[in-house]
Amino acid sequence: MKNLFLLFILAISILNATAKIYYVTPNGTGMGTSWTDAERDLQLAINKASSLGDSVWVKEGLYLPLRDKNGTLNPSNPRTKCFVIISYSKVFGGYLGIPGTEGMFYTRDPWSNPSVLSGDLLQNDFQQPDDSFSNDNCYNVIVNDVRNTPAGGFNALIDGFTISRSFGGSGMLNIGANLVIRDCLFTKNKSEYGGGMYNENANPTIIGCHFRENIGNGGGICSHQGKLKIYRSLFMDNNGLGLGGGILNKSGAVSQIENCWFYANMASLGGAIADNGFDGITQTTVVNCTVNEHILFDARAFYCSDQSVVKIMNCIVWGNGSTSGNNIFKAVSGASLSISYSDIQGGYTGTGNINSDPMFARNSDVHLKSNSPCIDKGETTGAPLIDFDGNNRVVKPDLGCFENGTIAGVRESNTEQFLVSPNPFIDQVFFEFKELNVDHVSVTIFNSQGKKIHTLNIKLERGIGELGHLNLANGVYIFEIEAGDKTYFRKMTAQ
């Protein structure tokens, strides 16, 4: 076992020794070896980075596709232009691109410094109140098709981009692809099906993404066959036309939807989620999601039909324009809809369901107040270990996407600023900070009763440090981490 581990470390070391980073900026004129020698052509950089371990780092700014999915430069129909996330490539956006920060992963913040992939080739959409300046846009901004040459989206990663303004096709089209899509914003894409994303026999994993103001049957996402996993994501102000404001599952699609927040989407049927089993029975599991402000039309939040199988657990469905559970949910034509351990306005039959005001902080902020009846009311088996914010779920899971963390009276800090891993840990903990201007941090460890156990100083190298030999008994601890003039809290489990 030890030899295997050493071999693994050796393999990683060799990989790291040969792994390359290609740098891309909107005005680059170089070969991509550094920020000062950055490449301008994002697709060429992605093509070069398809060796295992290679990655592309992209500065904030606007990027328009130049080729079609076959790599043809300036195709006769410019609307077929798109980006392809070539199989095995890893593409990261949101960098400031400051010379000297090469290799420093955390010098990025995709939400503050967006790297925008746009289908508005002529940059004229701003002139419109209608579609007349969008009908010259790309059909799709990204196409990942494993059947294509070169193949797209197999074991690939895209992280930290804004994907917007496709027209007549989805922002991202995945065919047979199994890529990971993390911390991306899909916005203002318009298609008949799957405004933000359309999956055809694809198995994408979506983490921490936002889908806003997209239009299509399945305003945020439409999945046709394949297995969709979606975690910690926001669906807001999407328009599902006929079916599924947030998500439409159809044609045998299998979907796992966890820790997501559906807010103010609309559709004729299923403002948040619709399942249509007409040409293949869908199976959809929705766990620890919060669904509010879906006020229009029939079946205000969930619609399922034609023998689709939909399971809902640990969810909050409240404030969707009706006080009748049977108006919020609609199951027709042999569909199976089961709801358990959920807070449903108007009530719904099922184990552990309640019908009480969940006490949101506000309608537009569905964190729970400390007197919420949803705290610790969830089922543990099958529930995620963390919540929308990445915080640990405490004691028993709360209902909805946000956990009310109150052990020892401490609320965890947003984990965007730093990583502390692994969690649970055995004897060693690694710290990775975005704040590169600190060279050390002070860590104070408290037990679950709030008693101080240790205070330790950690030296950081390029934002990374470690703690070892902690000898802590199994249980939950609070780490108070002081870095420069900031203090963070993290709940950690020793095992």
Q: In terms of CB distance, is 127 or 437 closer to Ca ion? A: 127
Least CB distance from residue 81 to Ca ion, whole Å? Answer: 12
Quote the distance between the C-alpha of residue 251 and its chain's center. Answer: 24
C-alpha span between 86 and 335 (Å, rounded): 38
Least CB distance from residue 78 to Ca ion, whole Å? Answer: 11
Least CB distance from residue 404 to Ca ion, whole Å? Answer: 6
Least CB distance from residue 266 to Ca ion, whole Å? Answer: 25
**Residues lying near Ca ion in the complex (CB under 5 A):** 120, 122, 124-125, 133, 136-137, 376, 394-395, 398
C-alpha span between 130 and 138 (Å, rounded): 17
Q: In terms of CB distance, is 238 or 391 closer to Ca ion? A: 391
* Sequence-separated (6 or more) residues with CB below 8 Å from residue 320: 271, 291, 292, 293, 294, 295, 300, 301, 328, 345
Least CB distance from residue 167 to Ca ion, whole Å? Answer: 7
Paired strand residues for 392: 386
C-alpha span between 368 and 374 (Å, rounded): 8
For 12, phi then psi, to 5°, come to -65, -40
Q: In terms of CB distance, is 108 or 232 closer to Ca ion? A: 232
Q: In terms of CB distance, is 215 or 267 closer to Ca ion? A: 215
* Sequence-separated (6 or more) residues with CB below 8 Å from residue 202: 144, 153, 174, 175, 176, 177, 178, 223, 226, 228
Q: In terms of CB distance, is 289 or 394 closer to Ca ion? A: 394
For 26, phi then psi, to 5°, come to -65, -25
Least CB distance from residue 355 to Ca ion, whole Å? Answer: 20
Q: In terms of CB distance, is 125 or 389 closer to Ca ion? A: 125
Paired strand residues for 181: 158, 206
Mind giving me the DSSP string for 42-109? HHHHHHHT-STT-EEEEESEEE---B-TT--BS-SSGGG--B--BTT-EEEEEE---TT-TT-TTSB-
Q: How many beta carbons lie within 10 A of that of residue 103, not counting itself?
A: 10
The single-letter DSSP state of residue 134 is T
Least CB distance from residue 158 to Ca ion, whole Å? Answer: 23
Least CB distance from residue 142 to Ca ion, whole Å? Answer: 17
Which pair of tokens denotes residue 223?
């999945």
Q: In terms of CB distance, is 124 or 421 closer to Ca ion? A: 124
Q: In terms of CB distance, is 44 or 117 closer to Ca ion? A: 117
Which pair of tokens denotes residue 207?
């983490």
Q: In terms of CB distance, is 72 or 124 closer to Ca ion? A: 124
Peptide bond into 65 cis (omega under 30): no
Least CB distance from residue 125 to Ca ion, whole Å? Answer: 5
For 8, phi then psi, to 5°, come to -60, -45
Q: In terms of CB distance, is 124 or 323 closer to Ca ion? A: 124
Amino acid residing at 20: K
Least CB distance from residue 406 to Ca ion, whole Å? Answer: 8
Sign of CA dihedral 262, 266, 271, 276: negative
